[in-house]
A = this chain, B = another copy of it.
């Protein structure tokens, strides 16, 4: 904690701040400059709202200097984490492709997609069984039946399964059918859910909220990890800005920033990141070129008739083309599919 006093702050005001810091458990270093007195507080407290000191009399500004996350930080674990799930490694030299429909619809659809993506080189199938829809009048997902269908299709095609858990009560169900539990963007700060996921022993794919900073994403990862589950991967899927040509603004720079700040694998989701099919392939290439460890994309045999998110879902031929380009891009930066 660094507290910068205003020019002309009185000795009494400075003393009050020092006393406050000491009460809070900090050891305080005082440095008196020409214009400003600066107080450096070193202490056991890692989570603290600097605004609480900023409102004190005579204080100009405060800066927190200890990152509020530890387990998720690259400093804590300099080597990158490689998650091993069956025969798949995420975070290693190979880029991992996860693909599938927005919603699980029926047996035929899932079998068709599973075969398609497995043949093209994907290792993990995605599909939603519980859909967090913004309208109460929309399709809400097939539930457990959907999970069962997806699991069977995955097993027949030697794929792993990733699916979203929307609520802590759904955790047992997801554990039964899914290899990776996905936390959606809207739940990134559902702390009750995160706490429960800290207790499970399956990897978590944690999506960035549309208004979440990179620091907040890492803090949510910390929530899970502090519960004992260290198998977390982070997912950039677009943030909300003023630009409306795309559904969200995909923050591609978040990929190298996350790789620098954290040891956790970073996945990119260009389907939600753009919301429109035509931009998914270029943005998938961009994410890989920026260093993503994997991609999560929506694909459907007939996107125009998909129950949900058809607009951002690739056709089979587009997905196959993407897989080819992805392989070349991966090679360009010393990786592979």
Contact surface of A with B, Cβ cutoff 8 Å: 2, 4, 6-8, 20, 27, 29, 31, 33-36, 38, 40, 42, 46-47, 49, 51-52, 54-56, 60-61, 63, 65-66, 68, 75, 132-138, 166-169, 186-187, 189-192, 194-195, 209-211, 213-216, 219-220, 222-223, 226-227, 239-247, 249-257, 260, 273-279, 282-283, 285-291, 303-304, 309-312, 325, 328-329, 331-333
Contacts and interface: CB of A to CB of B under 8 A. Distances in A.
B286 A54 contact: no
A23 to B, nearest CB: 8
A189 B242 contact: no
A36 B169 CA distance: 42
B254 A253 contact: no
A230 to B, nearest CB: 14
Given A56-B304, A134-B189, A137-B46, A276 B246 contact: no
Nearest to A139: B47
Residue picked from A192, A255, A282, A333, most chain B C-beta under 10 Å: A282
Contacts of A49: 309-311
A226 B288 CA distance: 39
A303 to B, nearest CB: 8
A223 B260 CA distance: 37
Residue picked from A60, A65, A253, most chain B C-beta under 10 Å: A253
12 contacts: A7-B75, A51-B311, A61-B63, A136-B223, A168-B169, A240-B242, A244-B244, A255-B282, A256-B279, A282-B289, A286-B290, A289-B329
A75 to B, nearest CB: 6
A315 B305 CA distance: 49
Contacts of A213: 242-245
Given A51-B247, A219-B135, A192 B211 contact: no
A214 B245 contact: yes
B52 A311 contact: yes
B211 A242 contact: yes
A189 B186 contact: yes
A94 to B, nearest CB: 17
Nearest to A189: B186
A123 to B, nearest CB: 21
A141 to B, nearest CB: 11
A29 B56 CA distance: 25
Contact of A249 (B63, B253, B286): B253
Given A136-B223, A167-B192, A215-B245, 15 more contacts: A31-B31, A35-B42, A46-B135, A47-B133, A49-B311, A55-B311, A60-B65, A68-B135, A68-B137, A166-B191, A211-B211, A213-B244, A239-B242, A241-B241, A252-B252
A273 B253 contact: yes
Given A241-B239, A241-B242, A133 B38 contact: no
Contact of A289 (B34, B289, B303): B289
A239 B214 CA distance: 17
B286 A252 contact: yes
Contacts of A246: 253, 257
A134 B310 CA distance: 34
